[in-house]
Amino acid sequence: MNLLHAVIIAGGKGERLGGVRKADLRIGGRRLVDRVTAALGSVEAPLMIATGPDNAGLRLPDGAVAIADLDASVGGPLAGLATAIDALRTRGVHAGLLVSAAVDTPFLPADFAAVMRDGLGDAAAAYGAYGEQFYPPNAVWRIEALTTLPEQVRTGSAAPSLKALQQMLGAISVNWATRDSADPFANVNTLDDLIALGRIAAKRRPSPLIHTPGN
């Protein structure tokens, strides 16, 4: 079975949230980066956290490493994916599978990595979807299909976005609408999103046990 590596795309500036680092935002009392790390479960070590141009100041989950964007004009999730491929190549990894997940999806399913791996089939890449909504950063990739991506990013010849890259690779959709009653990829872009998802987390939190005399 292909080894399953993972990167959390965490370089978003949170501009619509006042410029805060999304990874450090808390939903239900837990940082987003810790929630996504836990959901990814057992993947090949180390788990990579793509932090954007600057990796200073982020407290990393245990066993994770920060990787900063390559020296290029490309930014955003595509840059995070490229720097993850570059980091894997530096470690001598040229084949296998890479799962990517956006840091601002606090309810990423615990079986996300396994379901995406199994749904990939013979395709070069697959992305998560919920009904008509699709989420390019929440995806699985064949590492060998991205061999030239770091150089393309450095030279400015890469696809303009993850969505465009997935189209070029013939990526397939893994639709979670039949698995989950609510969108598992709902993400945090605005203060309203943060409040709404916080309320959902509060409803999901187990109620404290009530102890009665004699129990």
In the chain the domains, ranked by start, together with CATH numbers, are 4-203 (3.90.550.10)
Please give the distance of CA 133 from its chain centroid, rounded to a whole number: 16
Q: If you average pLDDT over every residue of the chain, what do you get? A: 89
**Does pLDDT of 47 surpass 90?**
yes
Q: Which residues pair with 65 in a beta bridge?
A: 48
Residues shown for the chain? 215
pTM: 0.89
Predicted local distance difference test score (pLDDT) of residue 183 = 93
End-to-end CA, the chain: 49
Higher-confidence residue of 97 and 190: namely 97
Asked whether the bond before 109 is cis by omega within 30 degrees of 0, the reply is no
**Does pLDDT of 212 surpass 80?**
no
**Does pLDDT of 171 surpass 70?**
yes
The mean per-residue pLDDT over the stretch 118-134 comes to 96
26-27/30-31 β-pairing: antiparallel
28 DSSP 8-state letter: T
Confidence of residue 16 (pLDDT cuts 50, 70, 90): low
Query: Residue 161 in contact with residue 76, Cβ under 8 Å?
Result: yes
